[in-house]
Homo-oligomer: A and B are copies of this chain.
Amino acid sequence: MNSGVEPTSHVRDDGVWGDGAWRLYGDEEDLPVPLAAALAAFAEHGYHGTSVRDIAARAGLSVPGLYHHYPSKQSLLQGLLERTMSDLLERSEAALAQAGPAPLEQFDAVVESLLRFHMYRRARAFVGSTETRSLEPDFRLQYIALRDRQQRMVDGIVEAGVASGVFSCPNPKDAARAVATMCVGVSTWYRPQGELGPDELVSRYLLIARQMVGVMPGA
């Protein structure tokens, strides 16, 4: 399986993200054709609202042609979400690793990486957040575990910020969840051709996110 364009990625040869590479996104087409077709269809009509025939047509294939590459409709969704979550996690872990040791630096880096992902990988992120319930139980467990790992990453940074006295919030876990929710929500309304560009959005939302965890404006 997986014929066709296996695209180049931003990952360096050794699998390590270069400095700031977690900010860079190629022009949407780093997916195999059938997965890109499934992504477009799922984002538009949802998993159950999409027929295999629709995906095949978008991919420029016949139905058996599509099944030659992926054994089932479910495997298309799983392949999509697997790439989505690992991309998101790799990027935010790279952002964290490359940030300084201060909680505020780490917070800014991870929030920025979340925001950029949900803008540049909008459709994928949207499908990932709306089609969890369409996953078969086994895979759903794996998937949720990755989501939790992402959330705990934010939790940890906020808790460290509170411990160091730079952040000020009585309930760090709630604040962290609210910040993550806000970032994920970007994928539901952001439009590339909208009035708000990525850099401008990042700076605005970073301010809001800092206030959510009680960072003094002058910090």
Contact = CB atoms under 8 A, between A and B. Distances in A.
Interface of A: 44-49, 130, 133-134, 169-171, 174-175, 177-178, 181-182, 184-185, 188-189, 196, 204-205, 207-208, 211-212, 214
Contact of A174 (B134, B188, B204): B204
Given A182-B182, A189-B177, A208-B178, A45 B171 contact: no
Contact of A48 (B45, B178, B204, B212): B45
Contacts of A189: 177
Given A174-B204, A211-B212, 6 more contacts: A46-B48, A47-B48, A49-B133, A178-B182, A181-B182, A185-B185
**Stoichiometry, copies per complex:** 2
A70 B181 CA distance: 36
Contacts of A47: 46, 48-49
Contacts of A177: 189
